[in-house]
Amino acid sequence: MKRLTIIITSILLLAGFAQAADRATVEGKCMTCHKEKSPGLYQQWYSSEHSLHNVTCYDCHKAEKGDKDAFMHEGALIATLVTPNDCSVCHTKESEEFQRSHHAKAGKILSSNDAYLAHVVAGEPAAIGGCETCHGGVMKLDKNSPNLLAKGTWPNSGIGRINPDGSLGSCNACHTRHEFSIAQARQPETCGKCHLGPDHPQKEIYEESKHGIMYFTNKEKMNLDSDHWVVGEDYYSAPTCATCHLSATPNQPVTHDAGERLSWTLRPPISKHQEDWEEKRDNMKEVCSACHGPVFVDGHYAQFDGVVNLYDQKFAKPSTEVMAIIKKNKSLENEANMSNDLEWTYWELWHHEGRRARHGAAMMGPDYTWWHGMYEVAKHFYFNFIPEVRATGDQEVIDYIDNMLANDPMHQWMDRPTAELKKDIQNGKMQAMFKDYYQPVMDEK
């Protein structure tokens, strides 16, 4: 019996040695070939933490039989895509946090009005090269080579990519392959790939803010490649996007759920408080407190809430109500969505200008709060949106607009003398109209 046990153990050991030898052969072939064929890729990996800890190409790209995107390559079963499921083998906590985040769900844009515009008004190549490159698309297989990815969907590192294994997202949206540098992921330029432009210009807002100015002035002091990176301890010159939304503080660990510190949702036409928004606001205030006192922090949030509530109450809610009445009454000339001037005006009012104003206030970007934000909102609300609403001939919405302009003090300015309005500003009457806006307004729909 003892002899049989020894024989079995020996066979298992030999099998293990053989498997290890086969693995070493595969890994050696990967490195030898890619060092010659794609030297930039190889050097990125070679200088990475993965290389330092003996994490090889095969560790990340190996596939199992039955994987939809698996294929044989130089004697090894591999997959091109490295998904959050693959990363979770080593980075379990990070993957779990990311999978529950808004980032991971960014691929839901595929059924939104944004995607409708790209597909219908422009065409599919615009949706693939534009929307899906940031938000992520559905990864499809080539019909002629069933285990290879289709050209229409690959390459794609969209942060909400929908992968063949059922996972959502792409870790390399932030941790760019094949170096996966933590320092690079901490820099605002990384977020700027997607968070920029007419509808969500966080990159531009950050760059005009004091935070961005201080970062670009003191980047060399930021200790960006440190394993331990706590604001106020390891760096202090400026925050980056990661500092506020993801990185550790003295009392909070690193998170890969970028929504844990956001109290408002500013994407929709009318702003909404996040679930557990007060807790999330306290999370962000704790980040702020590393560099700012409580009076400063509370003052910022009061001003931020003031802009959000102003936009919502004065412009977003009435314009959204008007569009709902027009839709109910079928008052637009053309049937298809976005085939009427009024629909485009309303879209840009909230999707572009309203978002810019709210995001500008959130991130202390004055030019985006006013000139690129509320200035544009007000101009287009009064001198484009309202005339276009009247042009529909829908008496119900015309009555709604007339009543609002006649009876809501916020909208009566056009029918009053300028000297009188200036006097109201000087004596504080105009400011008193908005005194309740400097705190959360909870009459959300």
Q: Tell me the per-residue pLDDT of 203-215, one tens digit each, with 9 for 90 and over.
A: 999 999 999 999 9
Domain ranges of the chain: 51-141+155-180, 195-258, 294-437
Beta bridge partners of 79: 70
Distance CA 318, CA 117 (A): 24
pLDDT given for residue 92 in this prediction: 97
Render pLDDT for 156-190 as a digit per residue (tens, 0 to 9). Answer: 999 999 999 999 999 999 999 999 999 999 999 99
**DSSP states of 90-120:** T-HHHHHHHHTSTTTTGGGGGGSHHHHIIII
Q: What is the pLDDT of residue 76?
A: 93
DSSP per residue, 349-406: IIIIIIHHHHHHHHTT-HHHHIIIIIHHHHHHIIIIIHHHHHHT--HHHHHHHHHHHH
Cβ atoms of residues 283 and 297 within 8 Å: no
Average pLDDT of the segment spanning 322-339: 96
pLDDT of 10 strictly over 60: no
**Dist CA 351 CA 62 (whole Å):** 42
Q: Which of 22-31, 45-54, 74-83, 377-386 is predicted least confidently? A: 22-31
Average pLDDT over residues 28-54: 93
pLDDT at residue 443, rounded to an integer: 58
| HEC per residue, 138-170 | ECCECCCCCCCECCCCCCCCCCCCECCCCCECC
pLDDT at 17: 41
Per-residue pLDDT, averaged over 401-423, amounts to: 96
pLDDT average, residue stretch 12-34 = 68
Q: Which structure tokens are listed for 328? A: 């109910």
**What is the phi/psi pair of residue 427, to 5°?**
-95, 0
Report how far residue 186's alpha carbon sits from residue 208's, in angstroms, rounded to the nearest whole number.
19
Q: Is the pLDDT of residue 13 over 70?
A: no
Please state the pTM of the whole predicted model. 0.91
Which amino acid belongs to residue 164?
Answer: P
- Statement: residue 238 has pLDDT above 50: yes
Q: What is the band of 27 on the pLDDT scale with cuts at 50, 70, 90? A: confident
Q: Which residue has the tokens 């019996």?
A: 1
Nearest to 389 by CA among 442, 320, 294, 439: 320
Pick the most confident of 3-17, 110-124, 334-348: 334-348
Please report, as a single letter, which amino acid is at residue 8.
I
- Mean pLDDT value of segment 328-342: 96
Pick the more confident residue, 42 or 111.
42
